[in-house]
């Protein structure tokens, strides 16, 4: 029965973790390019009380195994497409389909993001809202009056003097064999890991990379209704496990009372 207590406690801990993840999803419902996470649980080890055997009149009997609870197997990030939110701002870019923007962190390493709310630095370079430069670097000339970014990632500017269009570069996207394996670095950034595999780069709308939407941001893929129903389910499951602890405790109490 003390095992039963621990089993139910593992159930409560698991549901607590689930609520933590749901709370983070809900907190980021308005975060650009945020990908929701999901908890996955699996059963813990089993104690085999009695092995399989066969009896004369009952035939084969399966093994008698008592399980010892549940554990959090993984937290999976769901890289589904978020909604496209029209902003009309020329440097807001969304990726529809596969791929990440590559940005360079202050320490020189690369990070990946789906958040395409870019701005210009003092030198006219395209940087993210936190100041990390887009890779490969794109610099807009100071005399440009308008910028056009095509669905294939081609960046053109209109020259202020004669109104001619000049191509200044092309946006590249990165893709991973296992995007679920990416590590969230905070600030809407993801980092490459052993699990994600190495980044492959390519141009938008080529080889299966997504297309770029100018004047648009990708909203988070959190669905409030789903998170709320999950939250209710987690809460109930938590209560049921607490109930199981109480029943085990009650049974221990009654057997303890036997000794006079």
Partner 1 sequence: MTVPSIFATARSLSYYSRLQEVTANNLANASSEGFKADRMTAQSFSEVWPEALMSLDLKQGTVRDTARPLDIALEGDGFLVVNTPDGERLTRGGGFEINQQGFLVDRDGNNVLGREGPLHIAGREVVIEQDGTVVVDGARAGQLRLETVATPVELAKEGHGRFRPLGALQEALEVRVTQGAIEDANVDALMGTVDLIQIQRAYAAGVDALRTLDDVMSVITTEVGRV
Q: Summarize as ranges the residues that interact with partner 1 (CB under 8 A).
A: 1, 3-4, 7-8, 10-11, 14-15, 18, 38-46, 48-49, 52, 55-58, 60-70, 73-74, 76, 78, 80, 98, 177-178, 180-181, 194-195, 197, 208, 233-234, 236-237, 240-241, 243-244, 247-248, 250-251, 254-255, 257-258
d(CA 171, CA 201): 10
CB of 16 to partner 1, least distance (A): 12
Q: Which is nearer to partner 1, 23 or 165 (CB)?
A: 23
CB of 64 to partner 1, least distance (A): 4
Omega before residue 136 within 30° of 0, cis = yes
d(CA 207, CA 197): 18
d(CA 156, CA 159): 10
d(CA 39, CA 25): 11
Q: Which is nearer to partner 1, 73 or 166 (CB)?
A: 73
Dihedral angle sign, alpha carbons of residues 126, 128, 130, 132 = negative
Q: Which is nearer to partner 1, 39 or 216 (CB)?
A: 39
Look at strands 59-61 and 189-191 and give their pairing: unpaired
N residues, the chain: 260
Q: Which is nearer to partner 1, 145 or 178 (CB)?
A: 178
CB of 239 to partner 1, least distance (A): 9
CB of 109 to partner 1, least distance (A): 19
CB of 23 to partner 1, least distance (A): 16
Contacts of 160 (CB under 8 A, 6+ apart): 143, 144, 145
Q: Which is nearer to partner 1, 146 or 251 (CB)?
A: 251
């Amino acid at each position: 029965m003390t095992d039963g207590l621990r089993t139910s406690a593992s159930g409560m801990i698991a549901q607590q973790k689930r609520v933590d993840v749901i709370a983070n999803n809900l907190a980021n419902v308005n975060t650009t390019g945020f990908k929701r996470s999901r908890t996955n649980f699996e059963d813990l080890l089993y104690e085999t009380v009695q092995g399989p055997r066969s009896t004369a009149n009952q035939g084969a009997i399966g093994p008698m195994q008592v399980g010892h609870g549940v554990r959090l197997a993984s937290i999976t990030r769901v890289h589904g497409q978020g909604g496209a939110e029209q902003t009309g701002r020329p440097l807001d870019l969304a990726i529809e389909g596969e791929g990440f923007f590559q940005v360079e962190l202050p320490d020189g390493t690369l990070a990946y993001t789906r958040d395409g709310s870019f701005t210009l630095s003092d030198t006219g370079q395209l940087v993210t809202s936190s100041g990390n430069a887009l890779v490969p670097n794109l610099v807009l000339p100071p005399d440009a009056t308008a910028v056009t970014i095509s669905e294939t990632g081609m960046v053109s500017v209109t020259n202020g003097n004669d109104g001619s269009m000049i191509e200044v570069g092309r946006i590249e996207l990165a893709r991973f064999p296992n995007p679920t394996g990416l590590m969230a670095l905070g600030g809407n950034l993801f980092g490459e890991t052993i699990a994600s595999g190495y980044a492959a780069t390519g141009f938008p709308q080529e080889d299966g990379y997504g297309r770029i939407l100018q004047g648009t941001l990708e909203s988070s893929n959190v669905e409030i209704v789903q998170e709320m129903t999950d939250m209710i389910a987690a809460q109930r499951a938590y209560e049921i496990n607490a109930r199981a602890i109480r029943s085990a405790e009650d049974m221990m109490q009654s057997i303890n009372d036997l000794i006079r």
